[in-house]
Structure 1
Amino acid sequence: MGLFLLWFFFGIGLIIQGIYLLMIFGRTAWFKSPSKSPSTQSPEEGVTVLVAAHNEFQNLKVLIPKLFEQDYPKFDVMIVNDRSTDRTKRLLEEMMAIYPKLRSVTIKYTPSHVTPKKFALTLGIKVAKNDVILLTDADCIPNSDQWIRKMTAPVRLEDKTFAIGYSGYQEKPSQLNRWIQFETILTALFYLSFGLWKDPFMGIGRNLCYRKSFFMGVKAFKGIWHLEGGDDDLFVNNYATGKNSTIVIDPQAATTSVPKETWKDYLVQKKRHLHVGKYYRGEDKRKIGLYSMSHALFWIGGIGLLIYFGIGLQWEHFLAVLGIILLRSVFVAGIFKSAAKTVQGKAPKMNPVLNDLFYLGYFWILGSVSYQSKDIQWK
């Protein structure tokens, strides 16, 4: 009976993993951009780039000049200075004297019934000059001067409600960074791939576009004001459909963020992100859950069979199971590297095979802790 269960776990896990890796994730890994480029004959609609910033003096000093290098004729930048106690306000005053299209609004306190970032974003969107809103974070840098043009094209020219983009992280020489690169690509494989299947379920606030009129029409973050996080993925989860959303996959339309330097800071960040997942629609939770469950079954069954056949000196069976595990590992490495090149133009070091095994503990341990946690904070 025990051997049968191991084979059953291994087989079911392998089949479902194969479907995800080849049929779903493959949509992103082997994505080919349409040959036609967005039309430039229509008048370019105004765009407001919006950033909510809390004590981001150092990052804003780098970001603001980069934003004004964008090759787009009609845009402004709105920085929401959210209760900053560093030199952010003085920096913004100095920058506004240099860049006439830079605007800012300062928040001194947050109402008790609203979480800080949602309040900051809502205020910023409310006073934005343009209807097309392009969101990013203070620690993000556009990958090219075509970022605004490419990320907003579906909303401006194709009458879409959401344009969902990719944001990666700077590459650094550490195991933590290799894990961050892996986990970022895995997350992207989920939301980009299902978006390409016309079944979007999340986006990221580091690279997301929608209209101010739509945001105000649905009463901003109605229903999720009290949740710490969810201003991006839950908002998209509530309103995105296959008809009103487009996935933007183009290295020139991506952004790159500053990664966490310590495991402690990283785990605090991911705890917040994973906590929000409990509020996804049931069908969307199943998209992630089915992958993670099949992933666990594959490894539990595979390792169990290797131990069983190794102890029993049944080397033919042992080598057969090991061969299947190695073959899947080859596919995982290939798909992750191909996906990284597709979405950001290059494949960073991320140890996809080793981190694929590490994902077992990450998802089931940190995910369970985050799901039950009540002490989630933004900043």
Structure 2
Amino acid sequence: MGLFLLWFFFGVGLIIQVIYLLVIFGRTAFSKPSKATNNPSKEEAVTILVSAHNEFKNLKTLIPKLFEQDYPNYEVLIVNDRSTDRTKRLLEEMMAIYPKLRSVTIKYTPNHVTAKKFAMTLGIKVTKNDIILLTDADCRPNSNQWVRKITAPVRENNKTFALGYSGYEKEKGFLNSWIQYETLLTVLYYFSFGLWKAPFMGVGRNLCYRRSFFMEVKAFKDLWHIEGGDDDLFVNKYATGRNTAVVLDPESNTTSIPKKTVKEYLVQKKRHLHAGKYYRSEDKQKIGFFTLSHALFWLGGLGLMIYFGIDKSWEHFSIVFGIILLRSVIMVAVFSSSSKKIQGTKAPKNIWILDFLYLGYFWVLGTISHQAKDIQWK
């Protein structure tokens, strides 16, 4: 009976994994890049919105970068959220240099709302333009075409949401390799389902939508009490196959500064994973089927190899090992192709090892995040 269950888990896990890798993730891996026209009649005004709390150093680098964009009609609005560093003075100095830079200052956050959502809502209310492009203070546009490319679906194709990719700077060390892998897997989830007309999340480091829609649905109604989720939960609640587009173009990306320590990274990921508990049931299943089948595949496969190794049934051992190796080859190929399409770069090295380690990461950290009550932004 035990051997039968191991084969059953291994087989079911393998089938679902292959479907995800080749059919679902394959949608990203084998898609053509997104296209944006240079039609002057559709160069609608854009507001780049950044919420910042004690981000003096990052804003000092980011603001000049934002004004290098090759787009004729945009403003930059920085929401100075309760900062106690030199952010206010920096913004005053920068506004003297860049006429299209504006700022709004928040001195306190009401008790009944979360800080990030309050800052964003106030910022969006005072923007001059209907197209809102969100990013974070520690992000950098990958090209001077960022505004044009990421806003194209909203400007040119009447979409409400445009979902973009935001990666992390590549550095040496295992933690950074892990960050690169986990970020790539995350974007494969939401890009692939978005391309299948079933969007369920986006990231606020690179997200575009219309102010009019935001105000129409009464901002973050029913989401105020949740720390985080100003991006993925908002998209999860309102994005559909008709009103949402994925922008698959390295020039439309942003790059963020990665966490330097395991502790900082875990705090960040706990906040991200915590928001997932509020997704719609059908959207939880999109991630759940992959992670469950991933666990079944690896646990069943390792269990079978241990069993056949002890039994010295090397023929069966070789069959199981060969299947695991084949699945790893497919996974590496799909991830590598996807990384090239999304980022224009290679996938992380030793990705098959990182894939195996994901087995423990998701189930342990995911469980902790789901039950956490100490989630906060800043």
TM range (shorter): over 0.9
8 Å contact 2:50–2:135 — kept in the other structure?
Answer: yes
Matching residue of 1:26: 26
Question: Residues of 2 paired with 1:33 and 1:260: CA distance?
Answer: 29
- 8 Å CA contact 2:36–2:148 kept in 1: the answer is no
Give the equivalent residue in structure 2 for 1:331: 330
Q: Once the two structures are superposed, what CA deviation does each residue of 1:318-344 show, in whole Å capped at 9, x if it has no partner?
A: 011001101111111111121111111
Instruction: Mark the CA change 1:298 to 1:95 in structure 2 (over 3 Å): closer, same or farther.
Output: same
In the TM superposition, 1:77-116 aligns within 5 A as 77-116=76-115
Q: Tell me the residue number matched to 1:44.
A: 43
The gaps in structure 1 that reach 5 residues or longer are none
Aligned mates of 2:36, 2:56 — CA distance in 1: 36
Alignment RMSD: 0.9
Q: Which letter does structure 1 place at the counterpart of 2:102?
A: R
CA displacement at 1:31 relative to structure 2: 1.6
Retained in 2: the 8 A contact 1:182–1:351? no
Q: Deviations over 1:105-162 (max 9, x none)?
A: 0101000001000000000000001110000000000000000001111111111100
Query: How far is 1:350 from its partner?
Result: 4.2
Deviates more, 1:349-358 or 1:77-86: 349-358
Residue 124 of structure 2 aligns with an amino acid whose one-letter code is: I
CA distance in 1, matches of 2:128, 2:350: 45
Q: Which moved more, 1:337-346 or 1:248-257?
A: 337-346
How far does the alpha carbon of each residue in 1:61-118 deviate from its partner, in whole angstroms, 9 at most, with x for none?
1100000000000000000000111111111111101100000001010000010000
Structure 1 equivalent of residue 180 of structure 2: 181
Amino acid of the structure 2 residue aligned with 1:257 = S
- Contact 2:28–2:192, Cα closer than 8 Å, also in 1: yes
Q: Secondary structure at the match of 2:5?
A: helix
Between the aligned partners of 1:103 and 1:340, the Cα distance in structure 2 is 35
Deviation at 1:163, TM superposition (A): 0.4
Decide whether aligned partners of structure 1 residues 216 and 350 sit closer, same or farther in structure 2, where only a CA change above 3 A counts.
farther
Q: State how far apart, in whole Å, the 1-side matches of 2:368 and 2:128 are.
A: 41
| Partner SS for 2:304 | helix
Return the letter of the residue paired with 1:351.
Answer: N
- Tell me, in whole angstroms, the C-alpha distance in 2 between the residues paired with 1:262 and 1:351: 21
Partner in structure 2 of residue 317 of structure 1: 316
3-state DSSP class of the match of 1:168?
strand
Please give the per-residue CA displacement for 1:242-287, whole angstroms capped at 9, x wherever unaligned: 0000000100000000000000000000000000000000000011
Match of 1:3 in 2: 3
Q: Given that residues 177 and 350 in structure 1 are in contact (C-alpha distance below 8 angstroms), is that contact kept between their aligned partners in structure 2?
A: no
Residues 282-318 of structure 1: per-residue CA shift (max 9 Å, x gap):
0000110110000000001000000000001101100
2:204 matched to which residue of 1? Answer: 205
Name the structure 2 match of 1:357.
Answer: 356
Question: Which residue of structure 1 lines up, in the alignment, with residue 17 of structure 2?
Answer: 17
Give distance in 2, aligned partners of 1:41 and 1:146. 15
Task: Specify the code of the residue in structure 2 equivalent to 1:65.
Answer: P
Structure-1 separation of matches of 2:84 and 2:347: 35
Measured in 2, the distance between the counterparts of 1:37 and 1:377 equals 37
Output the CA distance in 1 between the equivalents of 2:84 and 2:330.
Answer: 48
CA shift in 2, pair 1:348/1:286, >3 Å? closer
Contact 1:181 1:350 (8 Å CA) reproduced: no
SS in 1 for 2:41: coil
Instruction: Assess if the C-alpha contact under 8 Å between 1:182 and 1:350 holds in 2.
Output: no
Aligned to 2:289: 290
1:41 Cα deviation after fit: 4.0
Give the conservation status (yes or no) of the 8 Å contact 1:171–1:348. Answer: no
Q: Secondary structure at 1:42's aligned position in 2?
A: helix
Which SS does the other structure have where 2:25 is aligned? Answer: helix
For 1:352 and 1:361, the matched residues in 2 are separated by: 15
The one-letter amino acid paired with 2:370 is Y
Question: How far apart, in 1, do the equivalents of 2:285 and 2:246 lie?
Answer: 21
Give the aligned residue type for 1:313.
Answer: K
Letter in 2 for 1:32: K
Partner in structure 1 of residue 117 of structure 2? 118
Q: Determine the C-alpha separation between the residues in 2 that align with 1:258 and 1:234.
A: 23
Structure 1 residues 178-211: Cα deviation after superposition (integer angstroms, max 9, x where no partner): 0000000000000000000000000000000001
- The amino acid across from 1:338 in the alignment is S
Counterparts of 1:128 and 1:350, CA distance in 2: 43
Distance in 1, Cα, partners of 2:363 & 2:372: 14
What's the counterpart of residue 235 of structure 2? 236
Q: Distance in 1 between matches of 2:38 and 2:60?
A: 33
Identity fraction in percent: 71
Structure 2 equivalent of residue 155 of structure 1: 154
Q: Which residues in structure 2 correspond to 1:185-264 (within 5 Å)?
A: 185-264=184-263
Does the 8 Å contact 1:182/1:352 carry over to 2?
Answer: yes
- Give the alignment's TM-score, normalised by structure 1: 0.98
CA distance in 1, matches of 2:38, 2:104: 34
Q: Distance in 2 between matches of 1:163 and 1:306?
A: 45
Are the counterparts in 2 of residues 179 and 350 from structure 1 also a CA contact under 8 Å? no
Residue 38 of structure 1, CA deviation: 2.0
Secondary structure of residue in 1 paired with 2:226: coil
